[in-house]
Amino acid sequence: MGRIIMHIDLDAFYASVEEREHSEYKGKPLIVGADPQEGRGRGVVATANYSAREFGVRSAMPISRAWKLCPQGIYVRPNFSLYVKTSHEIMSIVKKYSNKFEQISIDEIFLDVTDKVSDFEAAGKLAERIKKEILNKEKVTCSIGIGPNKLIAKLASDYKKPYGLTIVGFDDVKRFIDPLPVRKLIGIGPKTEDVLKGMKIETVEQLSKVEVKSLIDIFGVFGYRMHEMSLGIDESEVTEEGEIKSIGRETTFEEDVGTPEIVFAAIDELVDGFHEEIITSNIQFKTVSIKIRFENFETHTRAKTFEFHTSDKEIVRDTAKELVQSFLNIGRRVRLIGVRVSGLKFGEKQKTLREV
Ligand code: TTP
Ligand code: MG
């Protein structure tokens, strides 16, 4: 028998938590992110509630642009520790429903419920229960997708939001995935989308008809993955890991970047974005790694492992910059940068470096 996989994604997560804490925000456009400084602010939007999205405001957009689109919105700075705490609570609710789970970010989790329900319809009923329990206990809504694999489940949770439930049975996969824009597939960002558009490929169905060899010629190994995804194929398991193995972020630049200072500033922002989670979850790490992708999609990773565990922010930043440095001397433009820490240790008080 095939698998039944659920993907749960919280709706406008940071904004939903803020709305829960401040009833005066309800019904108004709310933007969580950098200080807009009346349009002069230089940071980005972390997320916006659905009301602000009606004005075109989106995650990762410059905050100055959000201000132009929606000057009447409420703008708040993120309160990461509150989001991390809420996420922990919600994830422990979800994990009660299957011991086969994989949390993939602060607001997303896969559950393999193959052994818990008899069919997709029963999985739908279970999903309704999970949605209601999260809403009752945490006052936050989520959307759930159910499919025969992780790829379809994730696409399904995104299909109807907020507070949606989308079930895609094995026989519905092709009908569901064919009309979707290629951009929805994991790993296809704005630039890849543009390349595909140049090849007259806009939908998953069109992508599925391209010879896998041509995709590999253009995109390397990722071309093979693109081909598989276009057919709705995903054999990857929901890994039963109790703990997160690494924490990090990555960002694709709106335009490819040739200036090291901009790459370094992006590293600072990425580290700011996840370091709070390291502290509030009492996590220490041993390894810092970076990922860099150039304009031609060539991608490299580099890592440095220390002899000691630490939670020091400066170490993450400095190491990431040191690792990236050698790639920036060759004058090529960068399209994506990522920073990650791994080799994690949970819940112990940090030793000072002197003690190590
Ligand atoms: P998402 O699940 O991508 O977005 P969301 O939960 O805000 O909205 P949706 O209803 O579409 O799921 O991301 C989860 C949280 O991660 C989001 O609330 C804020 C944070 N985040 C950033 O800080 N920057 C980003 O660019 C993105 C995409 C998310
Ligand atoms: Mg979400």
**Residue spans of alpha helices (H) in the chain:** 13-21, 50-53, 63-69, 80-95, 120-138, 150-159, 173-177, 190-198, 204-208, 212-219, 221-230, 260-280, 313-328
User: Looking at residues 243-258, what average pLDDT do you find?
Assistant: 84
**For ligand 1, atom 29, which residue shows the shortest CA distance?**
46
- Is residue 69 pLDDT above 90, yes or no? yes
Cα R_g (the chain), whole angstroms: 21
Domains and CATH numbers, the chain: 178-230 (1.10.150.20), 246-355 (3.30.1490.100)
User: Looking at residues 246-257, what average pLDDT do you find?
Assistant: 89
Q: Residue 91: its pLDDT value, please?
A: 94
Q: Residue 302: its pLDDT value, please?
A: 95
Of 237, 20, 221, 234, the C-alpha closest to 138 is 20
β-pair type (5-10, 108-112): antiparallel
- Token digits of residue 330: 């060759």
User: Looking at residues 198-202, what average pLDDT do you find?
Assistant: 97
Given the CA of residue 161, which atom of ligand 1 is nearest to it?
Answer: 10
User: Looking at residues 268-283, what average pLDDT do you find?
Assistant: 86
Q: Is the dihedral angle over the CA atoms 298, 313, 64, 75 positive or is it negative? A: positive
Long-range CB pairs of 177-182 (<8 Å, 24+ gap) are 177/152, 177/204, 177/205, 177/230, 177/232, 178/203, 178/204, 178/205, 178/208, 179/203, 179/204, 179/205, 180/155, 180/204, 182/206, 182/207, 182/230
The Cα–Cα gap between 339 and 29 comes to 31
Question: From ligand 1's centre to the CA of 281, what distance in Å?
Answer: 19
Q: What share of the chain is helix, strand, coil (3-state, %, to 5)?
A: 45, 25, 30
The Cα–Cα gap between 328 and 88 comes to 38
Q: Residue 139: its pLDDT value, please?
A: 97
Q: Which residues lie below 8 Å from residue 230, measured CB to CB, with a gap of 6+?
A: 177, 182, 185, 204, 205, 207, 208, 210
The Cα–Cα gap between 247 and 342 comes to 7
Q: Residue 354: its pLDDT value, please?
A: 36
User: Looking at residues 12-16, what average pLDDT do you find?
Assistant: 97
User: Looking at residues 219-225, what average pLDDT do you find?
Assistant: 90
Q: Residue 355: its pLDDT value, please?
A: 33
Please give the single-letter amino acid code of residue 214.
Answer: S
Long-range CB pairs of 263-266 (<8 Å, 24+ gap) are 263/324, 263/328, 263/334, 263/337, 264/321, 264/324, 266/337
The answer to whether the CB of 11 is under 6 A from ligand 1 is yes
Contact indicator for 151, 237 with CB cutoff of 8 Å: no
- Token digits of residue 163: 């507070």
The answer to whether the CB of 90 is under 6 A from ligand 1 is no
pLDDT in tens, 112-122: 999 999 999 99
The answer to whether the CB of 160 is under 6 A from ligand 1 is no
Given the CA of residue 48, which atom of ligand 1 is nearest to it?
Answer: 7
* Confidence tier at 349 by pLDDT (50, 70, 90): very low
Question: From ligand 1's centre to the CA of 352, what distance in Å?
Answer: 34
User: Looking at residues 317-346, what average pLDDT do you find?
Assistant: 91
Q: Residue 352: its pLDDT value, please?
A: 39
The Cα–Cα gap between 85 and 106 comes to 10
- Is residue 356 pLDDT above 60, yes or no? no
Q: Residue 347: its pLDDT value, please?
A: 66
Give catalytic residues, as residue numbers: 108
Contact indicator for 190, 175 with CB cutoff of 8 Å: no
- Is residue 190 pLDDT above 90, yes or no? no
Measured from the Cβ of residue 280, the count of other Cβ atoms closer than 10 Å reads 15
pTM comes to: 0.74
The Cα–Cα gap between 144 and 108 comes to 10
Mean pLDDT of the chain: 92
Q: Residue 221: its pLDDT value, please?
A: 85
Q: Which residues have their alpha-adjacent CB atom under 5 A from ion ligand 2?
A: 9-10, 13, 107
Of residues 297 and 11, more confidently modeled: 11
Q: Residue 353: its pLDDT value, please?
A: 39
